[in-house]
Amino acid sequence: MQLGAFTLPNALFVAPMAGVTDRPFRKLCKRLGAGYAVSEMVTSRPDLQDSLKTSRRANHDGEAAPIAVQIAGTDAQMMADAARYNIDRGAQIIDINMGCPAKKVCNKWAGSALMQDEVLAIEIVEAVVAACLPHNVPVTLKIRTGWCASVRNAPTLALAAEAAGIQMLTVHGRTREQGYKGHAEHDTVAHIKSRLHIPVVANGDIDSPQMAREVLQRTGADAIMIGRAAQGRPWIFREIAHYLATGELLPPPDLQEVRTWLLDHLEDHYALYGEYTGVRSARKHLGWYAQALPLPAGAAAAFRGRINALTTCEEQLRCVSESLDEWSEPMPGHEYDPQPWRLAA
Ligand SMILES: Cc1cc2nc3c(=O)[nH]c(=O)nc-3n(C[C@H](O)[C@H](O)[C@H](O)COP(=O)(O)O)c2cc1C
């Protein structure tokens, strides 16, 4: 798939997830088969651009191209400035967030709340496209199917955004009103795909190789984007890639291989956040990993308990290393759960 000057290696994308898909996690997903990843959203407010959180989010050191940065905001001029600011710091693609239902975002009428005001939404798209054009940076957009059940305006907005110059559109198959409840529907994506000329990406509840294939076939989408199912299971990308290529399911990953991935992830995580924040923010990832791995009953909870009590990088690394060694021993009678992910968000 082509996005501006970039040829993406495959059609498997990592969804932007604030607090989850930071640079270390995106790098690991790309290493394990994802063809493309979008950063966690960064604010367009200039007064917050120098905050530690935003500057960490704008740090793309060592990440494979293309570097896609998602911006969120409500003011067209500020969004254009934010696009330029991030391009100056290495962004090669700018994604506009009109898909996130988080309260913090919606209270400021950003994220998916923008779908309620199509005029402002397109004003923002036009301003960002104009800001990116001189730099040859493609602009992409992420939306939901609509504001609420009675206002499913994604198709109208999609057509207007295409006319305004976006080069790719991602659609999460829920309305803003749904939050993360119910099931994602992909018929709206199929409808939008049939009407647009730019690449369209399907997103929502894709959590297995079989579902990935089904959504691609049903929607005709150019790519799929995976969020929560990759939490603790970044190897889902290579599982899907293998299934799409061969029709066969890969066996669960070797635990010694997982040990290497986790230790590398932790080292990269500490390098970005430092020891105090790094050790604490790594706990959620480690909890998800334990939940996703084929462990005997009670092992994941015991591991989480141990991890949550540790406060240094050295202790956390040692605990992960020793636990993976322990779990690598044969565990008779224990079956791999290919779908450990739960709708927890
Ligand atoms: C913890 C969390 C944080 C998220 N943050 C963002 C974000 O920053 N920007 C965005 O566009 N969507 C965000 N989303 C939405 C996801 O990108 C995705 O659209 C949604 O989770 C549905 O995909 P999934 O079912 O594969 O998880 C977030 C979702 C979660 C669970």
Can you say how many angstroms the Cα of residue 313 is from the centroid of all Cα atoms in its chain? 26
Same-domain pairing of 44 and 163: yes
Q: Which pair of structure tokens corresponds to residue 343? A: 């709708």
Query: Is 180 a member of any domain?
Result: yes
Mark which of 246, 267, 282 sits at the end of a domain.
246
Q: Ligand 1: which residue has its CA nearest to atom 26?
A: 227
Same-domain pairing of 170 and 271: no
298: left (phi over 0), alpha (psi -120 to 50) or beta: left
For the ranges 115-119, 169-173, 254-258, the maximum mean pLDDT occurs at 169-173
Query: Is 66 a member of any domain?
Result: yes
CATH number at residue 35: 3.20.20.70
Q: What is the mean pLDDT of residues 184-209?
A: 97
Same-domain pairing of 124 and 21: yes
Assess whether pLDDT exceeds 90 at residue 181: yes
Q: Answer yes or no: are the C-beta atoms of 51 and 85 closer than 8 Å.
A: no
pLDDT in tens, 268-294: 999 999 999 999 999 999 999 999 998
pLDDT at position 240 is 98
Same-domain pairing of 182 and 301: no
Q: Mean pLDDT in the chain? A: 91
pLDDT at position 331 is 62
Query: Is 121 a member of any domain?
Result: yes
Q: Ligand 1: which residue has its CA nearest to atom 10?
A: 100
Q: Answer yes or no: are the C-beta atoms of 205 and 317 closer than 8 Å.
A: no
Mark which of 246, 277, 300 sits at the end of a domain.
246
Ligand 1 geometric centre to CA of 227 (Å): 6
Q: Ligand 1: which residue has its CA nearest to atom 21?
A: 227
pLDDT at position 339 is 45
- Residue 100 annotated among the catalytic residues of the structure: yes
Ligand 1 geometric centre to CA of 225 (Å): 10
Query: Is 335 a member of any domain?
Result: no
Same-domain pairing of 297 and 157: no
Ligand 1 geometric centre to CA of 17 (Å): 5
Q: Answer yes or no: are the C-beta atoms of 267 and 254 closer than 8 Å.
A: no
Assess whether pLDDT exceeds 80 at residue 185: yes
Q: What residues flank ligand 1, with Cβ below 6 Å? A: 15-20, 40-41, 70, 97, 99-100, 142, 172, 203-206, 226-229, 345
More reliable by pLDDT, 337 or 10: 10
Task: Give residue 93's identity as a one-letter amino acid code.
Answer: I
> Which three-class secondary structure string do you get for the chain?
CEECCEECCCCEEECCCCCCCCHHHHHHHHHCCCCEEECCCEECCHHHCCCHHHHHHCCCCCCCCCCEEEEECCCHHHHHHHHHHHHHCCCCEEEEEECCCCHHHHHCCCHHHHHHCHHHHHHHHHHHHHHHHHHCCCEEEEEEEECECCECCHHHHHHHHHHCCCCEEEEEEEECCCCCCCCCCCHHHHHHHHHCCCCEEEECCCCCHHHHHHHHHHHCCCEEEECHHHCCCCCHHHHHHHHHHHCCCCCCCCHHHHHHHHHHHHHHHHHHHHHHHHHHHHHHHHHHHHHHCCCCCCHHHHHHHHHHCCCCHHHHHHHHHHHHHHHHCCCCCCCCCCCCCCCCC
Same-domain pairing of 261 and 298: yes
pLDDT in tens, 86-101: 999 999 999 999 977 7
Q: Ligand 1: which residue has its CA nearest to atom 19?
A: 172
pLDDT at position 109 is 62
Assess whether pLDDT exceeds 50 at residue 340: no
| Residue 126 structural domain | 2-246
pLDDT in tens, 19-77: 999 999 999 999 999 999 999 888 777 877 777 787 788 788 888 899 999 999 989 99
Q: Ligand 1: which residue has its CA nearest to atom 14?
A: 17
Q: Is residue 341 very low, low, confident or very high in pLDDT (cuts 50, 70, 90)?
A: very low
pTM to 2 decimal places: 0.92
Q: Which of 100, 132, 313, 319 is catalytic?
A: 100
d(CA 145, CA 46): 30
pLDDT at position 161 is 98
Same-domain pairing of 192 and 113: yes
Ligand 1 geometric centre to CA of 16 (Å): 6
- Residue among 42, 172, 233 whose CB has most ligand 1 atoms within 8 A, to mutate: 172
Same-domain pairing of 324 and 238: no
Ligand 1 geometric centre to CA of 73 (Å): 16
Assess whether pLDDT exceeds 90 at residue 162: yes
